[in-house]
Amino acid sequence: MSDLTQLTLENYQAILAPFLMMTSAATLAWALQTRFSRIVQGIRSLVSDGSRDNIDYASSLDKQIKNLTERSLLLRNAIATLYGSMCLSLLTAILLAAATVASLPLAGAVIGTFLLSLVALSLGLLFALRETTQHYVTLKEEIEHHS
In total, how many domains does the chain have? 1
Q: How many helices (H) and strands (E) does the chain have?
A: 4, 0
Per-residue model confidence (pLDDT) at position 1: 42
Per-10-residue mean pLDDT of the chain, 147 residues long, equals 54 71 85 86 74 62 85 94 93 87 87 93 94 86 69
- Give the CA-trace dihedral at 96, 88, 30, 134, to 10 degrees: 140
Q: Give pLDDT tens digits for 95-125.
A: 988 888 788 888 899 999 999 999 999 999 9
Q: What is the domain range of residue 73?
A: 2-146
Per-residue model confidence (pLDDT) at position 125: 93
Residue (of 110, 36, 19) closest to 74 by Cα position: 36
Helix, strand, coil percentages for the chain (3-state, nearest 5):
90, 0, 10
Per-residue model confidence (pLDDT) at position 38: 86
Q: How far is it, in rounded angstroms, from Cα 117 to Cα 128?
A: 16
Q: How far is it, in rounded angstroms, from Cα 125 to Cα 131?
A: 10
**Rounded mean pLDDT of the chain?**
81
pTM over 0.85: no
